Chains A and B, each alone.
Chain A
């Protein structure tokens, strides 16, 4: 359960991993998040503080790692992975150790375990590695991970997980091609695996289509632009077979079977 309202969290460390920035933050008043849950983040300074200033709304980020459970108390340490793609992520990427974030969370519904005797297969790419990393932490470091990136600079993000098999669009690292080609080979070998996926819309849609075609259970962590993160704005709806659902409260993890498409209008913008 998320504490009510927005709270401050100090940045403990900022590290760069190729195209990505990882912020490690102290959240002494917060609970330990589940894999697949997210937080709404904004910088404490220079964020909608003056009229006419963007960024204005907080941004939703899946938590990438939490160090609670490793015996540190009180509260949690949280890690988020960012890529500078717009005014919000740019401002967050600028934050240095000692500066503050404002956050709300943990929010939403995360992944559910694969069930006895079934293997988890983690598939993703880009900043979509975030929920896969915390899920691998929970399932075990030997959990199979397949990641796709556009080039070598982005593929450095693969080191944030353990033993990831990598594909790149330009062939500079690992398999030259799509991560779904790696996924096909894995499913050929083990059709009973449960797929957990997060990544850009086109990648997620390819994973959804493949898993649907092969009747493989898949849980997809989706992204949609959202203003609040706790069900108030109704802005983040995605179409499902049962109509629109609010991704913030009914997701962000949805069963692939619930979706006709993983392409969400406005996502990945």
Chain B
């Protein structure tokens, strides 16, 4: 099993922003490392400057999922390099760092900084977070993604994974633009923009007004988008959206994904990734699935 030349023990990783391995190690101790639930670890989005994130409330539970409006809190590039990276380097799996900038130059500076770091196996470009005012910008249309990759592709030899936004008119066209501009892989779906009203006041519940919907509620949308993108590109796809069980992961692989990411389910059970991987292995052994991208390298 591999993605862009990175060897992986199984095809299940985490969705960015849904698992903090440093906090989890404090809560669960070294058992986390011994039974690490993901084949690679994707860290939460890093921005150039530190961010405190959106004001609370940040969460709303839905039928079959949730809406979050977190706002990408992080220590910023310097804080991440000094405080987080040394701890994440101790994980027993390859590290993929998710980065986001508010301009192409900012993304370039982030890509540049991580290119020098041996601890980092690949970079994921967040062009899709719907929680920040400018988050839709770079992933909304093919031209923007081309311009971004034209700027950052020459800066690094590390694999670049473009995390696509589902809040685009034509996700397959954006994926094709990413492939043509040198992306090594794409990942999807990010959360789908949504909102909730306070039943008592009628005002928006979330501090960020709108948020991102995740969980089983988005599973069908994820499957359709992965299927559409798989028919548009040849590069590997990391599929995610509402994966709770091995069967959900198998569906995404059958739709064209190379890897599957678990997100919201990890909130319900910290060890969900390992369970999904185990269930998937059982299913795959019994049904002779040939995955579209299984042996493809970048």
A residues sitting closer than 8 Å to B (CB atoms) are 1-6, 42, 48, 51-58, 102, 104, 107, 224-228, 230-239, 243-244, 246, 249, 264-266
Q: Which residues of A contact B217 (CB under 8 A)?
A: 51-52
Contact A227 B66, beta carbon cutoff 8 Å: yes
Instruction: Report the minimal beta-carbon distance from B274 to chain A, rounded to whole angstroms.
Output: 8
Asked whether B287 is an interface residue with its Cβ less than 8 Å from the other chain, the reply is no
Contact B59 A238, beta carbon cutoff 8 Å: no
Contact B59 A232, beta carbon cutoff 8 Å: no
Instruction: Report the minimal beta-carbon distance from A61 to chain B, rounded to whole angstroms.
Output: 15
Beyond known contacts A231-B20, A237-B56: 16 more, CB 8 A cutoff: A3-B28, A56-B64, A56-B215, A57-B61, A58-B267, A104-B269, A226-B59, A230-B24, A230-B27, A231-B22, A232-B23, A233-B18, A234-B44, A235-B59, A239-B56, A266-B205
Instruction: Report the minimal beta-carbon distance from A3 to chain B, rounded to whole angstroms.
Output: 7
Q: Which residues of A contact B64 (CB under 8 A)?
A: 48, 51-54, 56
CA of A146 to CA of B259 in the docked complex: distance in angstroms? 55
Q: State which of A52, A104, A236 has its C-beta within 8 Å of the C-beta of B270.
A: A104
Contact B270 A4, beta carbon cutoff 8 Å: yes
Residue on A nearest B273 in the bound complex, by CB: A5
CA of A231 to CA of B44 in the docked complex: distance in angstroms? 12
Q: Which residues of A contact B19 (CB under 8 A)?
A: 232
Asked whether B79 is an interface residue with its Cβ less than 8 Å from the other chain, the reply is no
Q: Which residues of A contact B285 (CB under 8 A)?
A: none
Residue on B nearest A42 in the bound complex, by CB: B268
Q: State which of A51, A225, A244 has its C-beta within 8 Å of the C-beta of B52.
A: A244
Contact B26 A231, beta carbon cutoff 8 Å: yes
Asked whether B163 is an interface residue with its Cβ less than 8 Å from the other chain, the reply is no
Residue among A42, A226, A233 having the largest count of chain B Cβ atoms under 10 Å? A233
CA of A246 to CA of B31 in the docked complex: distance in angstroms? 22
Contact B268 A58, beta carbon cutoff 8 Å: yes
Q: State which of B35, B55, B63, B267 has its C-beta within 8 Å of the C-beta of A227.
A: B267
Q: State which of A2, A55, A225 has its C-beta within 8 Å of the C-beta of B57.
A: A225
CA of A4 to CA of B26 in the docked complex: distance in angstroms? 11
Contact A228 B32, beta carbon cutoff 8 Å: no
Contact A230 B28, beta carbon cutoff 8 Å: yes
Asked whether B219 is an interface residue with its Cβ less than 8 Å from the other chain, the reply is yes
Q: Which residues of A contact B23 (CB under 8 A)?
A: 230-232, 246, 249
CA of A236 to CA of B23 in the docked complex: distance in angstroms? 14
CA of A266 to CA of B59 in the docked complex: distance in angstroms? 9
B residues sitting closer than 8 Å to A (CB atoms) are 17-20, 22-24, 26-29, 31-32, 35, 44, 52-53, 55-59, 61-66, 68, 70, 73, 205, 207, 215-217, 219, 264, 266-272, 274
CA of A234 to CA of B56 in the docked complex: distance in angstroms? 10
- Could you list some 28 contacts between A and B, CB below 8 A? A3-B28, A4-B35, A4-B270, A5-B272, A48-B64, A48-B268, A51-B219, A52-B64, A54-B64, A56-B61, A107-B27, A227-B59, A227-B66, A228-B266, A228-B270, A230-B20, A230-B270, A231-B20, A232-B19, A232-B23, A232-B267, A233-B59, A233-B267, A234-B20, A234-B53, A243-B52, A266-B57, A266-B205
Contact B62 A56, beta carbon cutoff 8 Å: yes
Q: Which residues of A contact B264 (CB under 8 A)?
A: 227
Contact B32 A6, beta carbon cutoff 8 Å: no
Residue among B26, B27, B61, B216 having the largest count of chain A Cβ atoms under 10 Å? B27
Instruction: Report the minimal beta-carbon distance from A78 to chain B, rounded to whole angstroms.
Output: 17
Evaluate whether A231 and B24 lie within 8 angstroms (CB atoms) in the complex, with A4-B271, A51-B217, A58-B268 already known: yes
Q: Which residues of A contact B274 (CB under 8 A)?
A: 5
CA of A4 to CA of B269 in the docked complex: distance in angstroms? 9
Contact A265 B28, beta carbon cutoff 8 Å: no
Q: State which of A2, A52, A244 has its C-beta within 8 Å of the C-beta of B28.
A: A2
Instruction: Report the minimal beta-carbon distance from A77 to chain B, rounded to whole angstroms.
Output: 22
CA of A86 to CA of B70 in the docked complex: distance in angstroms? 24
Residue on B nearest A54 in the bound complex, by CB: B63
Contact B20 A232, beta carbon cutoff 8 Å: yes
Q: Which residues of B contact A6 (CB under 8 A)?
A: 268-271
CA of A56 to CA of B59 in the docked complex: distance in angstroms? 13
Q: Which residues of A contact B58 (CB under 8 A)?
A: 234-237, 266
Residue on B nearest A59 in the bound complex, by CB: B61
Contact B20 A265, beta carbon cutoff 8 Å: no
Residue on A nearest B34 in the bound complex, by CB: A4
Residue on A nearest B269 in the bound complex, by CB: A6
Residue on A nearest B32 in the bound complex, by CB: A4
Instruction: Report the minimal beta-carbon distance from B254 to chain A, rounded to whole angstroms.
Output: 19
Q: Which residues of B contact A104 (CB under 8 A)?
A: 269-270
CA of A232 to CA of B265 in the docked complex: distance in angstroms? 11
CA of A238 to CA of B18 in the docked complex: distance in angstroms? 19
The 10 closest A-B pairs by CB, nearest first: A231-B23, A5-B271, A266-B57, A235-B59, A228-B267, A6-B269, A4-B31, A227-B267, A4-B28, A230-B27
